[in-house]
């Protein structure tokens, strides 16, 4: 139980420091800070100062990597966590085409396939089908956890790759145990 609480505390700490929230205000026929740039895993929060909505659906913008949005109303707050890199267009349906913006979602700086050379780790991140491990001879156990702390996958038989194709898009944590240390890192599944 003590170990589980420590893992959950570490996971929550990682979340609060790792992600960023960007605010956009919908009011007076425009989005203030309409065009924003965020990293994968970051949140954009829209707040309405009038009768508006946020429409970033693929039905309206077919090139968007994913759909997001809410219905027209007054006095709302809507947020969306972007888990797939790309450029997302959005608009207020009530005031389109003049009330529109973009969210550009980038892969976080420093997370790439070369980041773990020479140490225990995994790549790519974000991933979709499999994780590759560096320095596998020293790895004794790998666990993949949901944000709730629930163990989703685990393996004691470490190979160069771990199949993650059954995981849904979202944010997870990978806990890697060696003879001398345990590390936990955020994983983004696209």
Fold topology of 13-106: Immunoglobulin-like (2.60.40)
3-state secondary structure the chain: CHHHHHHHHHHHHHHHHHCCEEEEEEECCEEECCEEEEECCCEEEEEECCEECCECCCCCCCCCCCCCECCCEECCEEEEECCCCEEEEEECCCCCCCCEEEEEEECCCCCCCCCCCCCCEEECCCECCEEEEECHHHEEEEEEECCCCCEEEEECCCCCEEECCCCCCEEEEEEEEECCCEEEEEEEEC
pLDDT digits (tens, 9 = 90+) for 88-106: 999 999 999 999 999 999 8
Q: Do domains 13-106 and 111-189 have the same CATH topology?
A: yes
CATH class, domain 111-189, is mainly beta
Instruction: Examine the pLDDT at 72 and tell me if it is beyond 90.
Output: yes
- Domain extent listing, the chain: 13-106, 111-189
pLDDT digits (tens, 9 = 90+) for 142-173: 889 887 788 888 887 667 788 899 999 888 88
Position 158 scores a pLDDT of 64
């Amino acid at each position: 139980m003590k170990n589980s609480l420590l893992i959950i505390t570490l996971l929550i700490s990682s979340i609060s420091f790792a992600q960023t929230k960007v605010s956009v205000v919908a009011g007076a026929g425009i989005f203030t800070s309409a065009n924003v740039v965020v990293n994968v895993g970051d949140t954009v929060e829209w707040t309405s100062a009038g009768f508006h909505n946020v429409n970033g659906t693929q039905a309206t913008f077919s090139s968007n990597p994913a759909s997001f949005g809410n219905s027209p109303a007054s006095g709302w707050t809507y947020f969306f966590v972007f888990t797939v890199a790309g450029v997302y267009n959005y608009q207020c349906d009530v005031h389109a085409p003049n009330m529109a913006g973009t969210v550009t979602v980038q892969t976080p700086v420093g997370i790439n396939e070369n980041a773990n050379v020479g140490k225990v780790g995994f790549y790519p991140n974000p991933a979709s089908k499999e994780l590759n491990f560096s320095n596998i001879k020293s790895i004794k156990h790998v666990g993949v956890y949901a944000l709730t702390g629930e163990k989703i996958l685990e393996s004691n038989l470490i190979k160069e790759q771990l199949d993650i194709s059954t995981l849904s898009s979202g944010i997870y944590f990978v806990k890697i145990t060696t003879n001398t240390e345990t590390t936990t890192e955020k994983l983004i599944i696209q």
